[in-house]
Amino acid sequence: MFEVEDLNVHFGGIHALKGISLRVDEGEIVTLVGANGAGKTTTLRTASGLKKPTSGRITLDGKDITKLSAQDRVKRGLCQVPEGRRVFPAMSVSENLDLGAYLRRDRAGVAADLTNVFERFPVLGERRRQLAGTLSGGEQQMLAMGRALMSRPKVLLLDEPSMGLAPLLVQEIFSIIADINAEGTTVLLVEQNANMALQVAHRAYVMETGTMVMSGTAAELSQTDDIKKAYLGG
C-alpha cells in the first residue's frame, strides 16, 4: 500500500539516508526502530513530503507520489503526526481539530469524524475550548493524533508518539494506536521505545546510520539477540 524504494536524502553534505527501502501493507502497523540519528525521522519527513529526497521513489496505492507536495499527499490519505506533537498552542482544541480537516470539503463527514475523535479521546471533548498550549504532554499527543485523524488518512505516520510521556501514558497512547489500526488505518510508526513499538507492530525495520540493517515480523525481531542487546535492554 505504501512503499519507499532506494531513498537517498542529503542534508547539505551529509548523506542522511543511504538508499533505504520499506513497505507497509494495508492494515498493518509497521515500526521503524533505531538509535538517535539513525534517520528514522528523516525517513518519515521525506515520506510525508516535508523533506525532498535526492533520489528514490515513494508510492501510495501503487501511484508515484515522490514529486507531490505535502498538501497533495495529505489529500491522498497520507498524514503525519510530527515529532514533538506540534499542536497549535494559541488555538483551542476544537480549532486544532478543525484545521486537521482543512483540505476536506465534505462537512457531514468532517462532523462525523469530529464525533469519532471525541469518542476516542474523551479528554479532548472535555477540553474542546481550552487552548492547546495549556494541555499536558499526553493530551497534546492525543490532540496531535486526533488532528491527523481529522484528515481521514489511509496511512498514518507517527513520529515518536511516546516522546517525553510518563510510562502509563505511553501504554495508553500505544493501545490507542492499536485501536486506530484495528479500525482500518494503516500505521507507520517511528519509535525509540523499541520495546513498546515491537509489542503493537506487525512488522519492523531496524535502522542504523541511514541504512536498513534488519527487517522482519515484530515477534521475530524481538527474539533476535542483537536487537535485544541494542534496543530492548538485555
The nearer residue to another protein, 12 or 233, going by C-beta atoms, is 12
Residue 91: CB minimum distance to another protein, A = 6
Helix, strand, coil distribution of the chain in percent, nearest 5: 40, 30, 30
Give the footprint of another protein on residues 54-73 (CB under 8 A): 69-71
Q: Is 91 in the site for another protein (CB under 8 A)?
A: yes
The nearer residue to another protein, 91 or 214, going by C-beta atoms, is 91
Q: Which of 81, 173, 204, 212 binds another protein (CB under 8 A)?
A: 81
Site string for another protein, 142-181 (x = CB under 8 A): --x--xx-xx------------------------------
- Residue that has been written with the C-alpha cell 513520529 in this structure: 159
Residue 134, CB half-sphere, CA atoms under 13 Å: how many?
A: 9
Q: For the chain, where are the E strands, in sequence order?
A: 2-11, 14-24, 29-34, 55-60, 63-64, 78-81, 155-159, 186-191, 203-208, 211-217
Residue 134: CB minimum distance to another protein, A = 14
119-123 contacts, C-beta under 8 A, 24 or more apart: 120/146, 120/149, 120/176, 120/179, 120/180, 121/145, 121/146, 121/176
The nearer residue to another protein, 72 or 119, going by C-beta atoms, is 72
Residues binding another protein (CB under 8 A): 48, 50, 69-71, 74-75, 79-82, 86-91, 95, 98-100, 102-103, 144, 147-148, 150-151
